């Protein structure tokens, strides 16, 4: 690739808050070679190499699956053996932010996410739900459904419960004191 293109990539990564170590690893260019010093993350995130967001049961887990699916759509399903490049990272970041601008995501988080997947710390499975079949990540090979389908089936179970049995809430308050 032409030198100027690589420098452009390095500058772009710096402008969206990418850590210098990552820029140097992906472009071969050190701090002194690109004129833009790393800008703060445009959304104010300071993500590092942490996996707590991947194991939480909250919103972040949806982000992880979204990121994985974007990758597979763009670059194919061999996520574990891929080689990250500056172009790929930029493409993943811009696509993710265009699709889910309100998610807590950053270029550093994206970089480390795929590094973690390559180290096989997480498992990539395909959801067993008939209408879904989408890839998702988990720490446990026994997980059969993605987060979205798990949440949906929980909601369905909750609403499908017959309402014939009175719940504790419907019963009159127990009388604690006898007059």
Which stretches of the chain bind Zn ion, using CB under 5 A? 127, 129, 132, 146, 149
Smallest distance, Å, CB 145 to Zn ion? 5
CB of 142 to Zn ion, least distance (A): 15
Contact between 95 and 70 under an 8 Å Cβ cutoff? The reply is yes
What is the residue whose two structure tokens read 């504790």? 168
The smaller minimum CB distance to Zn ion, of residues 18 and 127, is found at: 127
Chain centroid to CA 60: how far? 6
Comparing CB distances to Zn ion, the nearer of 89 and 146 is 146
Closer CB to Zn ion, 10 or 127, in the complex: 127
Whose Cβ is closer to Zn ion: residue 54's or residue 149's?
149
In the complex, least distance from residue 66 CB atom to Zn ion, rounded to whole angstroms = 12
Q: Concatenated DSSP letters for 112-168? A: HHHHHHHTTSSEEEE---TTT--EEEES-TT--S-HHHHHHHHHHHHHHS-TTSPPG
Backbone angles phi, psi at 126, to 5 degrees: -115, 130
Question: Residue 4: which of 20, 32, 27 has the closest Cα?
Answer: 27
Q: How far is the CB of 109 from Zn ion (least distance, A)?
A: 22
CB-nearer residue toward Zn ion: 23 or 67: 67
CB of 57 to Zn ion, least distance (A): 15
């Amino acid at each position: 690739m032409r030198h100027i293109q690589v420098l452009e990539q390095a500058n772009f990564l710096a402008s969206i808050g990418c850590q210098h170590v990552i820029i140097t690893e992906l472009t071969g260019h050190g701090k002194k070679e690109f004129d833009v010093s790393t800008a703060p993350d445009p959304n104010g995130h300071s993500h590092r190499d942490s996996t707590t967001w991947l194991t939480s049961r909250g919103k972040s887990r949806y982000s992880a699956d979204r990121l994985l699916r974007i990758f597979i759509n763009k670059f194919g399903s061999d996520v574990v053996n891929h080689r990250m490049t500056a172009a790929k990272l930029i493409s993943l970041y811009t696509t993710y932010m265009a699709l889910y601008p309100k998610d807590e995501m950053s270029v550093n988080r994206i970089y480390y996410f795929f590094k973690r997947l390559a180290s096989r710390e997480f498992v990539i499975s395909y959801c067993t739900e008939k209408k879904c079949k989408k890839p998702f990540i988990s720490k446990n090979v026994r997980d059969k459904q993605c987060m979205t389908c798990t949440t949906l089936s929980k909601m369905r179970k909750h609403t499908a419960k017959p309402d014939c049995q009175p719940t504790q809430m419907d019963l009159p308050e127990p009388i604690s004191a006898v007059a």
